[in-house]
Structure 1
Amino acid sequence: MQQTIEHDGTMSRRLLLVTGTAALGGFLFGYDSSIINGTVDSIRGAFGLSAAAIGFVVSCALLGAMVGAWYAGVCAERFGRVRTMIIASLLLSVSALGSGLAFGTVDLILWRFVGGVGVGFASVIAPAYIAEVSPAGNRGRLGTLQQMAIVVGIFLSLLISAVLARIAGGAAADLWGSTAWRWMFLSELIPAIGYGLLAMRLPESPRYLVERQRLDEARHVLQTVVGMSGADAIGRKIEEIRTTVASEARKSFTDLRGPRFGLRRVVWLGIILSVFQQFVGINVIFYYSTTLWQSVGFDESDSFMLSVAGSITNIVATVIAIALIDSVGRRKLLLGGSALMALSLGVMALAFSNAGTVDGAVSLPAPWGPVALVAANVFIIGFGASWGPAVWVLLGEMFPNRIRGMALGLAGAAQWLANFVVSTTFPILAAIGLDFAYSLYALFALLSFIFVLRSVQETKGRSLESMISED
């Protein structure tokens, strides 16, 4: 594979503002995904749901995200990256309002599905846009802004949920004329509307502008955002982009096809990376942590705060990834993360194998409760410093220009489908035994190490135009 190194821009305040605004889609991704955490038990009690039913209420948004991720690529190619962000903002705003005012299980599922579509749009368009406006030398750090925004969104959603529950005296208690869990959903309205307003001020991606023959605008973006200087350098970059997108006029799903089981090799790599990112079970921590810690003996208030603490750990881990991803590289981060996740998940499985049942609830005897808590946070560090940000960076940069939008959409859809499978099956696996569930996730972490070792190549420092797959 070609190893072209590119130096085509500088880190500027303007670039940070633009990529930071785009990354707010990641903030909403994290916020919407985790706001359900503090509402699970209250919704279950309010609507009298079974374990399987509450699992679907939690994960139905992921089906919507799968749909959104797929159509985000199509929408981005047809209407542009910025307009796709605005659509995501509208969908998330409607979902927040509808979920907060839900009358029953059916309409709650509907509104959560709509929000999931918005999350799917945001999850795909942010890394693609950031990759397309970033100089190659800084693309890894700027790409991790997406993951930083995600983990900050997770942290704030859990913190706001904890504050609302504490003020009301419980997530199911009355608060300001309604119940606290409804205000948790409604709180998303503020960032969702803010994201849309800020996205309206973003410049369009230079690669989209070149494709649409809006060359003067593309030159302006390359100079003022990407940080390129010199008419000749900008002209060469535009010609390079034109060469790689020249065949995009009639894109369809057939452009993703290849000799390996119907798809090009690079597309399969993106899909498998996406699936492994979810099959290690990270979102079990973010969707069910409050319920999980209550089940092993912590009260509701302490469980909320433990979930908040875990989200802070995630932020710290992402800062580590930002510092390392452009120097160490994507591949080494993934390998180290896989090893650490496999080890910590194995310890969690061992801890829960010693669990007993007291009054129908899971209980961990000393010292296994603290051991499980420490292992869970080590797992978060392993994921947050590697697979969380590095996969999003890779997905934003590994596909050739010609198929990036559609391939990223397909990989994103696969990721959300895998997330749905994990989130829906966790209550069932937990009923079999938490040790069994975490042993399964540990196995997938080990398999992810083998996959990266054998199949993933480094992409740091390479221009997007040099990403040519080997089929």
Structure 2
Amino acid sequence: MNHQNQQASSGPNMTFVLLIAAVAALGGFLAGFDTSAMSGANGFLKERFALGNSLLGWTVSCLIVGCTVGAAFAGSLGDRFGRKKVLIGAGLLFALGIGLSALAPTLSFLIPFRMVEGLGLGLMSALCPLYNAEISPAQYRGRLVAMHQLAVVTGIFLGSLLAFSITGWGDDLWNQTTGWRILLGCGIVPGVLFLGLLFIVPESPRWLIKHGKPEKALPILVKINGEELARQEVLDIKASFKEEEGLGHATFKELFASKHRFILLIGVMMAVLQQVTGINAIMYYAPEIFRQTGAGTSGSLTQTIFVGLTNLVFTVLSLWLVDKAGRKRLILFGSAFMTLSLSVIGYAFHTGQTAGPLVLIAILVYVAAFAISLGAVVWVILSEIFPSRIRGLATAVCTMALWAANFVVSQSFPSLLASVGPATTFWLFAGASLFTLLFTAGVVPETKGKSLDEIEAMWHEQRERKEALEPSITRP
């Protein structure tokens, strides 16, 4: 008992929390790996299958259709069967999809296999950050949820190194027939690792309590916080679910009810803005962008590695800052620099000054600003702002919106470059970044340091104040 009291007074068992949070975050690594693998492979796929701009966009973004569908069902599946079981199913879908993609003999096989892979990634993208939010102590929740984005950018960086290495094993003809298959096939390794580690992590204690299994949740919470705090947390979580007793699972009708509409608007808008500011256009097509500046195949892939390294370094910095500086301040800072750097990229293409280092520097500034703000912080916001009853469903809807926006950007980017040109394309992204700055300043609340139950109480108090201020309707 003495030891347990010491643990309660000395704070949470962060070694245990970090280990299980890292396993869940591996789902993000798989998404990042696919991004860089396709970035390295799409030029060779374009030649191998004789793809025009629209078909190249579809080959890259068809995975996102699967992601959107997976994210759409993640909330209801996660609420019904548990976070852990659904993530195991997602890991199986990913491993199957990416393995078959690497073996696809024709484009008609490659596209549906990538959609299967996307189903798994969509489920992971909604449930991995949600799982980490539900097992994290409040004071560390921001950085633990942001581990998902750190895993994404680690996957992008290591994938870009792998792409650079594998594409150097042979000439362009070899890469068009064999290199891209090896590159995609390497994704099976982290996929199987993720799947295996999921069997040793616990179920979300909040999900267990919600489904009437506090006796199974208590040992998990004891490992996290010690016995004294764990018992209190079980009582607090039970109290937060008391109003839901006998109501069954959350429905879309509840989600879109007037009392939740404003919170849902914030979540959906932040999810969409993370994508329409252009990050995945750069991540999927970085080699093609650098080729437009005059870099050759080797030079464009080398510059893409710099992009991945910058993304990784500043995401690590974001993990340190998110619970110190706060969510809102980071997004305001990052979106301001994103607006500036995207404007400079557009100007460089507009004036033809792309031969020097200007475009590379501006892209690195943009990626750094995104990584420190929207990249990590949006996942934190989506995992924590919603009331417990609708959290799974609302997170799934927002993640579906995120993937849908990703699809639009990824699908349209090659055609935009060919039609309106790179200058106008990057200025459009700059405009979206400026809107992000204004939207965040106007409506996004700060949630730093608040527990999930305190955030829910904050929304409840705001609704009560609003109702009290509304003029009463006098009856005749």
Q: Find the aligned partners of 1:47 and 1:102 in 2 and give their Cα distance.
A: 12
Indicate whether 1:161 and 2:160 are aligned: no
1:400-439 per-position Cα deviation (integer Å, ceiling 9, x unaligned): 1000000000000000000011111111111121000000
**Aligned pairs, number:** 450
How far does residue 232 in structure 1 lie from its aligned partner after superposition? 4.8
How far does residue 389 in structure 1 lie from its aligned partner after superposition? 0.4
Partner SS state of residue 357, structure 2: helix
Q: Which moved more, 1:229-238 or 1:55-64?
A: 229-238
Indicate whether 1:276 and 2:299 are aligned: no
Corresponding position of 2:187:
188
Q: Find the aligned partners of 1:227 and 1:353 in 2 and give their Cα distance.
A: 60
Corresponding position of 2:202:
203
How far does residue 11 in structure 1 lie from its aligned partner after superposition? 4.6
Contact 1:334–1:386 (8 Å) recurs in 2: yes
Bigger helix share: 2
Indicate whether 1:459 and 2:443 are aligned: no
Partner SS state of residue 448, structure 2: coil
Corresponding position of 2:329:
332
- Paired residue for 1:266, among 263, 266, 271? 263
Indicate whether 1:425 and 2:425 are aligned: no
Q: Find the aligned partners of 1:186 and 1:89 in 2 and give their Cα distance.
A: 15
Corresponding position of 1:15:
17
How far does residue 117 in structure 1 lie from its aligned partner after superposition? 1.1
Question: What is the alpha-carbon root mean square deviation over aligned residues?
Answer: 1.8
Q: Find the aligned partners of 1:141 and 1:424 in 2 and give their Cα distance.
A: 32
CA gap of 1:246–1:159, structure 2 versus 1, over 3 A, is farther
Q: How does 1:378-397 map to 2 (within 5 A)?
A: 378-397=365-384
Partner SS state of residue 245, structure 2: helix
Q: Find the aligned partners of 1:434 and 1:349 in 2 and give their Cα distance.
A: 7
How far does residue 242 in structure 1 lie from its aligned partner after superposition? 3.3
How far does residue 229 in structure 1 lie from its aligned partner after superposition? 3.3
CA gap of 1:238–1:310, structure 2 versus 1, over 3 A, is same
CA gap of 1:230–1:327, structure 2 versus 1, over 3 A, is closer
Q: TM-score, normalised by structure 1?
A: 0.92
Q: Find the aligned partners of 1:8 and 1:421 in 2 and give their Cα distance.
A: 48
1:135-155 per-position Cα deviation (integer Å, ceiling 9, x unaligned): 101101111111100100111
Q: Find the aligned partners of 2:225 and 2:287 in 1 and give their Cα distance.
A: 42
Q: Find the aligned partners of 1:330 and 1:220 in 2 and give their Cα distance.
A: 31
- Paired residue for 2:136, among 134, 141, 145? 134
Corresponding position of 1:414:
401
CA gap of 1:82–1:348, structure 2 versus 1, over 3 A, is same
Q: Which runs of 5+ in 1 are unaligned?
A: 1-6, 356-363
Q: Find the aligned partners of 2:155 and 2:226 in 1 and give their Cα distance.
A: 29
How far does residue 454 in structure 1 lie from its aligned partner after superposition? 0.4
Indicate whether 1:246 and 2:227 are aligned: no
Q: Find the aligned partners of 2:375 and 2:226 in 1 and give their Cα distance.
A: 28
CA gap of 1:9–1:228, structure 2 versus 1, over 3 A, is farther
- Paired residue for 1:147, among 143, 149, 159? 149
1:283-330 per-position Cα deviation (integer Å, ceiling 9, x unaligned): 111100011112221111121111111101001111111111101100
Corresponding position of 1:359:
none
Contact 1:147–1:388 (8 Å) recurs in 2: yes
CA gap of 1:10–1:244, structure 2 versus 1, over 3 A, is farther
Identity %: 36
CA gap of 1:227–1:332, structure 2 versus 1, over 3 A, is farther
Q: How does 1:29-108 map to 2 (within 5 A)?
A: 29-108=31-110
- Paired residue for 1:350, among 334, 347, 350? 347
Q: Find the aligned partners of 1:247 and 1:453 in 2 and give their Cα distance.
A: 39
CA gap of 1:227–1:301, structure 2 versus 1, over 3 A, is farther
